[in-house]
Amino acid sequence: MNHTHGPAYGGGAPLPQAPAWSVLDEYLWHSCEILADLRADRLDQRPLVATRARLEPGERALAVGPAHRLSWRPLGDGSYQHNSTFAIGGPAFVIGALAASAIGNANRRRNAELAARPRWLLDGTGEITVTDRHVFFGHPQCPLHLSWDGLESVELAGPDLFEAGFHDIYGGGYTTVQLQTPWASLMFVCAALTSFPAHPRLLTGGWLPPGFEQRCAQAGRPFRPAAGLSTGPAGPAPHPPYAPPPHTPPPHAPPYTPPPAAQPQAAPATPPPPRGAPDVHRDVDLGKDTPPGRAG
C-alpha cells in the first residue's frame, strides 16, 4: 500500500492512501450505470450489446464478458483399491513387504476420503451474457442458463463471485453454482430485484464496497445511484493533515510574596494529665474503639 508522510514537525507517521482505481472498479462503475438506467426504464437509450445468446422478445442484453463456472461437488466417491500382499522369504523381508503394503493402503484410503469431500471445482471457462431476465454461460460441455425468477437462493460470495441455487430441470436435483466474473454485482442485483427484494445485501447496499461513491468522485467517474437501491455506508473521512497547535507564551507569573513570619505561641496554662491517668476524651468520644475492661 502506498503511503504519504505528514509534515516534518514532530516526525509525522505515514498516512495510508486510497488504493488505485482497478479494473474491477471500472466494471462496478459500469454496473451502477446500467442499473441506474434499468431502474429508470431507460435501457432503450443505451447502445445495444452484441451477444450470441438467444434472447426472448423484449429481452435486453445488459453486459457480456468472461466467466468461470464452478460447482460444489466431490472429486471422487470415496472408493480406492486395497492391495493385499503375500510375501515369502526371510522375516525381515516379509515384515518390510507387509509394512509397505499397509502404508500404501493407508495413503490411498486417506486420499479417497479427501476426494469424497465436496468443494468448489472449476467446470469450465466461457462467456456470459447478462440480461434483464437471465444470465447465459456459453460452454460446449457445461452451458448454463439461469432465469432470475427461477432461482431458489442468490448471494454475492465475493467482489467477483456470483452464487445461485436452483432445482435442475434435467433431473439433477438441487444444485448450487458459482460464476466468477467482473459482472457479479450486476447479476446479483438483477436477480435480487426480481426474486429476492428483501435480501439483506440488497437492502443495506452491501453489494458495493464501502465508500465506493467517494472513490468514483476521486477517480473522476460521476456516480449515478439507481432509484430505490441503497449504496451502503460511506467510507471513512480522509485523514486531515497534522497541524501543530499554535504556540502560546505562558502568562507572566505574579511577583513572589513570602509568607508572614511565624509568631511565637504561649505555652498552654493547663498542665498535662498525670502519668497513668485515663484519657477521658477517648473514653467519651471514642469509647467504641476501646476494648472492654478497666481503663488505666
Least confident of 126-130, 166-170, 204-208: 166-170
Percentage of the chain lying above the pLDDT 70 cut: 60
- Say what the pLDDT of residue 61 is: 97
Structure-model confidence comparison of residues 15 and 88, the more confident one = 88
User: Which positions ≥6 away from 184 have C-beta within 8 Å?
Assistant: 156, 158, 159, 160, 161, 162
- Say what the pLDDT of residue 93 is: 59
- Say what the pLDDT of residue 75 is: 78
Which CATH code is given to the segment(s) 23-74+119-234? 2.30.29.30
Q: Is the pLDDT of residue 261 over 60?
A: no
- Say what the pLDDT of residue 200 is: 95
The most confident of 106-120, 173-187, 242-256, by mean pLDDT? 173-187
Number of CB atoms found within 10 A of residue 93's CB: 11
- Say what the pLDDT of residue 245 is: 52
Structure-model confidence comparison of residues 6 and 154, the more confident one = 154
Least confident of 118-122, 147-151, 202-206, 256-260: 256-260
Structure-model confidence comparison of residues 68 and 116, the more confident one = 68
pLDDT tier, 67 (very low <50, low <70, confident <90, very high otherwise):
very high
Cell of 73: 461437488
- Say what the pLDDT of residue 65 is: 96
Q: Is the pLDDT of residue 239 over 60?
A: no
Cell of 1: 500500500
Domain ranges of the chain: 23-74+119-234, 78-117
Task: Round the average pLDDT of the chain to a whole number and report it.
Answer: 76
Residues 25-36: pLDDT tens digits?
999 999 999 999
- Say what the pLDDT of residue 198 is: 95
